[in-house]
Amino acid sequence: MKEMVNIYVMGKLYSVPVGLTIMNAMEFAGYKHIRGCGCRAGFCGACAVVYRIKGDNELRFALACQTAVEENMYIASIPFFPTQKAQYDIKDIKPTEQIMMQLYPEIYSCIGCNACTKACPQNLKVMQYVAQAQRADYAACAEESFDCVACGMCSNRCPAGISHPLVALLARRLNGKYIMPKSAHLEDRANAIAKGDFIDALEAIAGKSIDQITELYNHREIEKK
């Protein structure tokens, strides 16, 4: 018999094997994941959960696919959190201070409570990148928010109603299109793909077995930097 731990999912007690992730433990307990499961093994941000350990008042935030269950863990799943998404065409906007004020004016209502940072399961400095967005420092905001998986935990805890992941996404888009230096190498490759230069090669690969593809990958020519 495996060692078991007691957990509470939405207030109901279950006994599950030690070592399971929260996601696997919920499935062991009989929950069927229709939403809030995403990639199941990486960082897609879909499986956000809030939990407490019995006797500890600290509220904790995690991704269910990455976090192991503990004895007397009280778990609540938040597979989706409604954020306000601004509508824009990246080709029609520029990296100005006014564009952030126009699309996400709520960021200027930030009270500096830092609840967003404390809630981030990726340990990002969320309040800091929001401050960078306020100053129209989109390159810094893009760098600070690069590992955001848009789980929505920060927005869930924000008293000002800020849509932090979407603010960060806009900053990264502005940075990528207007601020970062252009890559001639990447542009040349994209143009070659658009012209169909790689169709024959792709069709040849599509006709091979998994073992043959694995062999090709393991012995591929790696471009030197």
Question: Residue 97: CB partners within 8 Å, gap ≥ 6?
Answer: 135, 136
- pLDDT single digits (tens) 147-160: 998 989 999 899 99
Establish how many alpha carbons lie within 13 A of residue 163's alpha carbon, considering only the half-sphere containing its beta carbon: 15
Q: Check pLDDT > 60 for residue 111.
A: yes
Q: How many CB atoms lie within 10 A of CB 197?
A: 11
d(CA 56, CA 174): 42
Q: Which pTM value belongs to this model?
A: 0.76
Average pLDDT score, the chain: 92
Q: What is the pLDDT of residue 194?
A: 94
d(CA 9, CA 37): 16
- Mean pLDDT score, 160-184: 95
- Mean pLDDT score, 173-183: 94
Residue-range domain boundaries for the chain: 4-77, 90-179, 184-218
d(CA 60, CA 144): 22
- pLDDT single digits (tens) 131-150: 999 999 999 999 999 999 89
Angle, CA of 139, 144 and 145, to the nearest 5°: 100
- pLDDT single digits (tens) 201-222: 999 999 999 999 999 999 988 8
Instruction: Report the amino acid identity of residue 28.
Output: F
Q: What is the pLDDT of residue 1?
A: 57
The alpha carbon of residue 73 and the mean position of all alpha carbons in its chain are separated, in whole angstroms, by 24
- Mean pLDDT score, 71-88: 89
Q: How many CB atoms lie within 10 A of CB 223?
A: 6
- Mean pLDDT score, 191-210: 93
d(CA 54, CA 125): 28
**CATH class belonging to 90-179:** mainly alpha
pLDDT: which is higher, 200 or 44: 200
Q: What is the pLDDT of residue 225?
A: 61
- pLDDT single digits (tens) 32-74: 887 768 777 667 888 889 999 999 999 999 999 989 999 999 9
d(CA 210, CA 208): 7
Q: What is the pLDDT of residue 213?
A: 93
Residue 171's closest CA among 111, 88, 80? Answer: 88
**CATH class belonging to 4-77:** alpha beta
| 154, containing H or E segment | helix 153-157
Token pair in block for residue 216: 């090709």
Q: What is the pLDDT of residue 21?
A: 94
Instruction: Give percent above pLDDT 90 in the chain.
Output: 74
DSSP of 57-82, one letter per residue? Answer: ---EEEETTT-B--TTEEEEE-----
